[in-house]
Structure 1
Amino acid sequence: MIDGVATKTLVRHNDDRGFFMELLREDDAMYGRFGQASISKSFPGVIKAFHYHNGQDDIWYFPFGYAQVVLHDMRPDSPTFRQTDVYYMGEDQPYLLFIPRGVAHGYRVLGNSPAYLVYFTNTAYDPARPDEFRIPFDDPGIGFDWRTKNR
């Protein structure tokens, strides 16, 4: 696992009415400071990658749909510098993924339904000074193959 990345398994409390599940609490180890909460919808096959932040940490959760999430450590002082990790997230795998600043991240929607990403950041977006730096999804320095492999 890339240094500083963390996951939190989410627990559903089910009954005959449906379920209840806490996402993020102020006393969670991965929670630092609240900046913004957002939601994004992406259609099947879409790849949104890569980008990173210098001052912003992200916490991702996919409540509906499925995604292949790819992280790439771009921090030269990290013990996992240039390491790439893959996470499979979605409605049947409910967990939070903490992505520290300096780790490039992106995802590909899997399956035939849209994927919804709910994410929390430790800073609010400032259009005058956006802390978002883009890298092409097929960047040779990362070298990630987004194609689904037949096994």
Structure 2
Amino acid sequence: MQLTETKLKGCFLIEPTVFEDKRGYFLESYNQKTFNDLIGCEVDFVQDNESYSSKGVLRGLHFQKGEFAQAKLVRVIKGKVLDVALDLRKDSPTFGEHYSVELSEENKKQLFVPRGFAHGFVVLSETALFAYKCDNFYNKNSEGGVIYNDKILNINWQLNPDELIISEKDLKLPTLENLDL
């Protein structure tokens, strides 16, 4: 497993070791000891989530506030997405900056998004099966988000705006400037 810290401190790109032969492939997608040793802190994942989406579906940018803040380990099982992490830690030198990466069934990369970040993705393939681990349980009253097309963030979602499929709820999210943290 290879670990690379992104420009956002504490946010890591993870490339698993893949063993391939004529039968297919094998990889260890998660090992708690190896993972914690690599990132240098203890993360205890308590919930696994999965979503299936069509091309153009944009989910995000979401986060959980306060005691229900969540770190996530995200990956794509089938298809390809553009995954985005946004630093919302007010004391961070990279507050308001984002990191984006393509995650796919081909590259098998994963992204660790620490607490204090918003997260989202858009499906670039015809469909995508997206899976992620969370280190805290979901709490509806602690939901937060930032609008995907905030001009200050200037995120390149790699698709034309008319190709995007976004929930009504996500279309009503505030800009970073109007966010109540």
Q: In which range does the TM-score fall when normalised by the shorter chain?
A: 0.7 to 0.9
CA-based RMSD of the aligned residues comes to: 1.9
Kindly provide the CA deviation profile for residues 76-135 of structure 1, in whole angstroms up to 9, marking residues without a partner as x: 111211112111110111122100112111111113x211111001112245xx443122
1:5 corresponds in structure 2 to 11
Asked if the contact 1:70/1:84 (under 8 Å) is kept, the reply is: yes
Going from structure 1 to structure 2, the CA distance change for 1:51 and 1:17 (only over 3 Å counts) comes to same
2:25 corresponds in structure 1 to 19
Which sections of structure 1, spanning at least 5 residues, go unmatched?
A: none
Query: What is the CA-CA distance between 1:136 and the residue it aligns to?
Result: 2.1
The correspondence for 1:120, drawn from 112, 121, 133, is 133
Aligned-partner Cα distance in 2 for 1:53–1:6:
19
2:93 corresponds in structure 1 to 79
Which sections of structure 2, spanning at least 5 residues, go unmatched?
A: 1-6, 161-181
User: Relative contact order (alpha carbons < 8 A, sep ≥ 6): 1 or 2 greater?
Assistant: 1
TM-score normalised according to structure 2 size: 0.73
Question: 1:2-151 residue pairs with structure 2 within 5 A?
Answer: 2-27=8-33, 28-29=35-36, 30=39, 32-54=43-65, 55-111=69-125, 113-127=126-140, 130-148=141-159
Going from structure 1 to structure 2, the CA distance change for 1:126 and 1:70 (only over 3 Å counts) comes to closer
Matched-pair identity in %: 27
Kindly provide the CA deviation profile for residues 41-98 of structure 1, in whole angstroms up to 9, marking residues without a partner as x: 1111111121112321011011111111122211111121111211111011112210
Runs of 4+ in 1 over 4 A off after TM superposition: none
Query: What is the CA-CA distance between 1:147 and the residue it aligns to?
Result: 4.5
Counterpart of 2:22, as a letter, is D
Q: Structure 1 or 2: larger helix share?
A: 2
Once the two structures are overlaid, the 10-residue window that deviates more, 136-145 or 61-70, is 136-145
1:63 is paired with a residue whose SS is strand
Counterpart of 1:120, as a letter, is K
Aligned-partner Cα distance in 2 for 1:24–1:117:
15
Query: What is the CA-CA distance between 1:148 and the residue it aligns to?
Result: 3.7
Counterpart of 1:124, as a letter, is F
Query: What is the CA-CA distance between 1:146 and the residue it aligns to?
Result: 2.6
